[in-house]
Amino acid sequence: MAAAHLRIYTINKGQMDDWLDLFHNKLVPVLHEAGFKVPSSWVNELGTQFIWIRSCDKLEDIPKLEEKFYGSDWWQANVDFVRSHVAHREIVVMTSTGN
């Protein structure tokens, strides 16, 4: 069963442009390398929240893919910088209904 995370990040004031560059040019390639798909992302109307979906083929694959992503050299070297952009995050785990 396919699985995804709906991720809602509140980005620190004045950092959205930097976050978008970081996300699309650095984070997405590392996520893809780990085996995650990133099918879509959005910014809310106020420009304060970044909403995106991170998916994989099976729910049980998430821990293995997260271990690969969070254990990557890039993440280890940049984790503090990445997290310095995010004031709050909410993660909703979703699974496919087969439709």
- Pick 98 or 9 by higher pLDDT: 9
- Pick 84 or 2 by higher pLDDT: 84
Contacts of 23 (CB under 8 A, 6+ apart): 41, 50, 52
Q: What is the pLDDT of residue 99?
A: 60
End-to-end CA distance of the chain: 11
Q: Kindly tell me if the per-residue pLDDT of 6 is higher than 80.
A: yes
For the chain, the structural domain boundaries read: 3-94
Q: What is the pLDDT of residue 97?
A: 85
Q: Could you say which architecture CATH assigns to the domain 3-94?
A: 2-Layer Sandwich (3.30)
Q: What is the pLDDT of residue 96?
A: 86
Share of the chain above pLDDT 70, in %: 99
Q: What is the pLDDT of residue 69?
A: 97
Q: Kindly tell me if the per-residue pLDDT of 44 is higher than 90.
A: yes
**What is the spatial distance between Cα 43 and Cα 50, in angstroms, rounded to a whole number?**
5
